[in-house]
Structure 1
Amino acid sequence: MKWFEIILVVLTLGSGLVLLLDKLYLRKRRAEKASLLDSEEPAVVDYSRAFFPVLAVVLILRSFVAEPYKIPSSSMMPNLLIGDFILVNKFSYGFRLPITNTKIIPVAEPKRGDVVVFKPPHAPDQNWIKRVVGLPGDRIGFHGDTLSINGQPLEYKVNGEYVGNGMTGATLLTEMLPGRTHTVLEVLGAANPAGQGDWEVPQGQYFVM
């Protein structure tokens, strides 16, 4: 996806530069040799004129408005299934430059319960889709099958047995996450000891699950 973004930026800037040079210099030079009606426009200018508006619109939409992502794993079941496509709002938390992803205009910060797409520090070439659970300064605990925030265990409502998508037999629960409740799946005995413990969320960072 990074290479696609780089190519898109290069093509957009390149075609725009060709049109600018044609307007400021090349068109006048052609006019000196023949009338504008009789002069033939170079192919590169013709292609740039045709593709620049399309490339510019795609770049603006993808960089500042919305971008599609495909769900790669079952970690967000039952709310998001493998193969689902989601459309991510690119300006919820601020406007960022393409390629570098540098925030230039802050808008808001992630809230507890938000589903976010991000590149984890240990795998910057991957897109992960998770839910924000801990905010800066929070103390998060996960033991057994229970999540706690600042020492307060979350409440869970049992909705019955889940059926479908390879997880038939799991228990469907509603997790009372402060600010935004949502459904989760529980498989008894499947908890990973390596993924349990207590953490304090540093300033400027978030805890996701």
Structure 2
Amino acid sequence: MATLFSHLLVLLTLATGLVWAFDHYVLRPKRVAKVAALEANPSVELPEEKKADLLREGAIAENCHSVFPVLAIVLVLRSFLYEPFQIPSGSMMPTLLVGDFILVEKFSYGIKDPVWRKTMMETGTPERGDVAVFKYPEDTRIDYIKRIVGLPGDTVVYRNKTLYIKPACPTGEGCEPLKPVAQVEVNRGEFNQGGIALERAREALGETTHDILINPRRREPVHMYYPQAGSSNAEWVVPQGQYFAMGDNRDNSTDSRFWGFVDEELLVGKAVFIWMSFEFERGSDSWLPGWIPTGVRFGRIGGIE
């Protein structure tokens, strides 16, 4: 849907711009010349109202003249600066909840054209711990949001609910060993899934500290993990130009553990801000449609860790 909207926005901007330009540079000079010829004819009386009518652009051109600047501004903002997204699932809980509306910084990982998504200018690359939006590798029409845990060259291991990382070491000297990412339990039971109390833990990933959720009673579906040639099960070496992404809701997230790596060409941007958050919780006897919010979570508005 997001890709379709982007393409539609580009087409509408181009169409209205072309109509406005054709009227301004082709038809308007003809109208001006016609009025000048009438004014030069002493036998013709040309009232101001009639002159204004002759110079006035047509209804279609007038509408395009009004709409084109608005569409152009929206296109620039959405394609190169910031784009709004809505969180549709709980895979990034507790960092992001269903009903959160976020802003994604489009220029964090390079400035790309809005149609073919080719990088026009390099501006930066993801850092470990970034919350990133990217095109789902198995269906690029879909936008995914996950946390970047593995950078190019890193070794990533996920066993027994614990994340291990060995940072890339191109020189081969002074390399860090594979070690677990530090976790400290915050609470248990603040979030539930199917009647099971989830563990909330604070994790230090690079320069970022964030919270994750773990379902202690759910077995790891290791048999479903993405198999990388030359690596053991539940172990991955991130290829150059690609990234390993995981959801903060570790036992309720379809991520790189299951479908592999995120190519840098699929990166959309970095999630930086929650600008609105609606809650949709309601009782089973509620007559309201599910898409109508039941409240606003003002306390969630702010930056994203």
TM-score normalised according to structure 1 size: 0.93
Residue matched to 1:184: 212
**Residues 161-170 or 131-140, more deviating:** 161-170
Shift of 1:192: 2.4
Distance 1:29 1:107, change over 3 A: same
1:158 matched to 2:150? The reply is no
Distance 2:156 2:4 in 1: 36
1:112-151 CA distance string (max 9 Å, x none):
0000000122121111100000000000000110110011
C-alpha separation in 2, matches of 1:50 and 1:177:
48
AA partner of residue 62 (structure 2)? D
- The residue number in structure 2 matching 1:66 is 82
| 1:120 has 2:147 as partner | no
Structure 2: unaligned runs, 5 residues or longer: 37-50, 167-177, 226-232, 247-305
Displacement of 1:187: 1.2
What is the aligned length?
209
Equivalent residue runs for 1:39-118 within 5 Å: 39=54, 40-118=56-134
Q: Paired residue for 1:202?
A: 239
Q: In 2 relative to 1, CA 85–130 (structure 1 residues): closer, same or farther, beyond 3 Å?
A: same
Q: Which amino acid aligns with 1:59?
A: L
Deviation at 1:180, TM superposition (A): 1.1
Counterpart CA distance in 1 for 2:3 and 2:90 is 24
Could you tell me whether the CA contact under 8 Å between 2:84 and 2:104 is conserved in 1?
Answer: yes
Residues 158-167 or 54-63, more deviating? 158-167
Distance 1:45 1:104 in 2: 32
The percentage of counterpart residues that share the same residue type is 42
Residue type of the partner of 1:169? A
Counterpart residue number, 2:10: 9
Q: Which residue of 1 aligns with 2:203?
A: 175
C-alpha distance in 2 between matches for 1:24 and 1:186 = 63
What TM-score comes out, normalization by structure 2 length?
0.65
User: Secondary structure of the equivalent of 2:13?
Assistant: helix
| 2:74 alignment partner, SS class | helix
SS at match of 1:121: coil
Greater RCO (CA < 8 Å, at least 6 residues apart): 2
2-structure distance, mates of 1:88, 1:126: 15
- Structure 1 vs Structure 2 CA RMSD: 1.7
Larger radius of gyration, structure 1 or 2? 2
SS of match in other structure, 2:133: strand
My pick for the range that moved more, 153-162 or 61-70, is 153-162
- Secondary structure of 2:22 counterpart: helix
CA distance in 1, matches of 2:35, 2:67: 26
- The residue correspondences of 1:132-147 to structure 2 (distance < 5 A) are 132-147=148-163
Q: Could you tell me which runs of 5 or more consecutive residues in structure 1 were left unpaired when the two chains were aligned.
A: none
Q: 4+ residue runs of structure 1 moved beyond 6 angstroms?
A: none
